[in-house]
């Protein structure tokens, strides 16, 4: 596979209505918050999980698109697939002394696992397959405005044990935010893509994943999450034509006039604009959704 030849940055806007976009296990699964600003947070790991899940659904059984970091997967077994395919005997915690074989092992992992060649992986476990720095990286997502977590009591009419049969109901709680619009920044390095063979086909799959990942992630806690806008910046030069932060500054998300005094409850409460005319030379913009 031929690696991409251009550097990219992107901005993704997504929202949640009456749901929990990313629970914090250290806070009783409350939606993650910045304690200083009360802005909502969604981790990069959470978003990468959704991308992996989408790719697994779209590319099921397609060669070269297996997912390395799967639920309940045993990573050493994943690494051993490379050793078996290349007929190399693994040595505990060590790569082969032959550097060519060591490179072949890591290259095999990149060729066969989409998330390894996309996000990278540290595969230096008992069965050592090397380490890869991925070309695609995501920051934490932050909500545009502060969010207010709510704790909602729920009831269950069924019981688990027969001894509890006479109980009328059991109680539980769900944590939600009424509405939040989140913004996340992403980075794609052409030079790092050369090392993992992250291709143009992989790139288009990534864009589809970002746009559609919430459509296949519905649950009681995330019933209404949607990707709202994807803004892609493409550089002519593989090393880039401008600093990423200057490109991100061209994407403005503001409250609609006259609505700033009341809490946002829908995407139309915001106005999104991209100042494409002031972009640096050598950078183009593609707006999707």
For the segment 119-160, what is each residue's pLDDT rounded down to a tens digit?
Answer: 999 999 999 999 999 999 999 999 999 999 998 888 877 777
In 3D, which of 218, 221, 225, 214 has the Cα closest to residue 154? 221
Q: Where are the alpha helices (DSSP H) in 135-263?
A: 190-196, 200-212, 244-248
Give the count of beta carbons closer than 10 Å to the beta carbon of residue 31: 25
pLDDT one-digit tens code per residue, 61-81: 899 999 999 988 899 999 999
CB 274 within 8 A of CB 251: yes
The reply to whether 162 falls in a domain is: no
What is the pLDDT at residue 61?
Answer: 85
Q: Containing domain of residue 135, as a range?
A: 8-152+174-288
The reply to whether 61 falls in a domain is: yes
The reply to whether 68 falls in a domain is: yes
Number of domains in the chain: 1
| pLDDT by position in tens, the chain (length 289) | 799 999 999 999 999 999 999 999 998 899 999 999 999 999 999 999 999 999 999 999 899 999 999 988 899 999 999 999 999 999 999 999 999 999 999 999 999 999 999 999 999 999 999 999 999 999 999 999 999 999 888 887 777 777 777 776 667 788 999 999 999 999 999 999 999 999 999 999 999 999 999 999 998 888 799 999 999 999 999 999 999 999 999 999 999 986 667 899 999 999 999 999 999 999 999 999 9
The reply to whether 1 falls in a domain is: no
Tokens at 86, concatenated: 């290349």
What is the pLDDT at residue 170?
Answer: 66
What is the pLDDT at residue 252?
Answer: 97
What is the pLDDT at residue 153?
Answer: 83
What is the pLDDT at residue 132?
Answer: 96
What Å distances lie between residue 276 and 119, 206, 221, 247, 288, CA to CA? 29, 23, 37, 9, 14
Specify the pTM: 0.93
What is the pLDDT at residue 220?
Answer: 82
């Amino acid at each position: 596979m031929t690696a991409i030849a251009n550097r990219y940055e992107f901005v993704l806007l997504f929202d949640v209505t009456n749901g929990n976009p990313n629970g914090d296990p250290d806070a009783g699964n409350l939606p993650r918050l910045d304690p200083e600003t009360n802005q909502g947070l969604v981790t990069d790991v959470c978003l990468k999980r959704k991308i992996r899940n989408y790719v697994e659904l779209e590319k099921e059984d397609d060669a070269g698109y297996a997912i390395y970091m799967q639920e309940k997967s045993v990573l050493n077994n994943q690494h051993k697939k490379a050793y078996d395919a290349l007929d190399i005997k693994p040595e505990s915690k060590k790569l082969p002394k032959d550097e060519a074989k060591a490179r072949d092992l890591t290259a095999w992992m990149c060729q066969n696992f989409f998330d390894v060649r996309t996000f990278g992986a540290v595969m230096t476990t008992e069965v050592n397959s090397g380490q890869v720095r991925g070309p695609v990286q995501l920051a934490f997502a932050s909500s545009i405005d502060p969010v207010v977590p709510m704790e909602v009591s729920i009831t269950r009419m069924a019981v688990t044990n027969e001894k509890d049969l006479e109980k009328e109901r059991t109680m539980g709680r769900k944590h939600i935010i009424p509405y939040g619009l989140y913004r996340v920044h992403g980075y794609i390095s052409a030079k790092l893509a050369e090392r993992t063979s992250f291709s143009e086909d992989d790139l288009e799959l990534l864009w589809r994943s970002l746009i559609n990942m919430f459509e296949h992630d519905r649950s009681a806690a995330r019933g209404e999450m949607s990707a709202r806008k994807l803004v892609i910046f493409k550089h002519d030069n593989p090393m880039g034509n401008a600093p990423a932060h200057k490109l991100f500054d061209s994407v403005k998300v503001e409250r609609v006039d006259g609505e700033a005094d009341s809490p946002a409850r829908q995407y139309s409460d915001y106005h999104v604009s991209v100042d494409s005319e002031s972009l640096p030379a050598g950078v183009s913009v593609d707006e999707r959704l």
